Structure 1
Amino acid sequence: MNELTKIAYNCKKATFLIEKKLIGKITLREKMELKMHLAGCTICKTFERQSAVINRMVKELFSNVQKENLKLDEQFKENLQHRLEEELNK
């Protein structure tokens, strides 16, 4: 199977390219591969739309947070750190 047809059956690579496209630039080859995959994969098309909405919302959230200079309280940060360490040590 050649490289271009591999993407047609590779949702993992397609979702990677979708995210890469949303945060920066993808090459012409990557654009072609992604377009080819999205032509036949409704799940990845939905993922692309949802990911774009989520990225836009996060950007808006961080924009608003920077304007308001909001901070997490120390207890919340400590609890979050503890939970992350527990998950990483499983």
Structure 2
Amino acid sequence: MLISCKKATEFIEKKDIFGLTKKEQFQLDLHVFLCAKCKKYQRLSEELDHTLRHFFMSKSDEELKLSDDKKEKIKDALKK
């Protein structure tokens, strides 16, 4: 019934995107209740999600587009 910290973090990230089954939600709630590190991870993940949503919703489509120069820098960095 108890899940690992790795599984808990997977559930935390899955929760906002796909949702959790009742069983998964119960397992996550129990784990977070017992594990201070995962509780902190969950709180920080929620704060980051909120901040990113706010940032991207406040920008226009033009502001979010990357310049060709920035695209090339990213491609070069990924090749390394």
Shorter chain as normaliser: what TM range? 0.7 to 0.9
From 9, 31, 34, the counterpart of 1:15:
9
| Structure 1 gap segments, 5+ residues each | none
**Rg larger in structure:** 1
Identity of aligned residues (%): 33
Aligned residues: 79
Q: Does 1:45 align with 2:74?
A: no
From 53, 69, 77, the counterpart of 2:62:
69
TM-score (normalised: structure 1)? 0.79
Query: Structure 1: how far apart are the matches of 2:54 and 2:21?
Result: 27
Structure 1 runs (4+) greater than 6 angstroms displaced: none
- Give me the CA root mean square deviation: 1.3
Query: Structure 2: how far apart are the matches of 1:55 and 1:85?
Result: 29
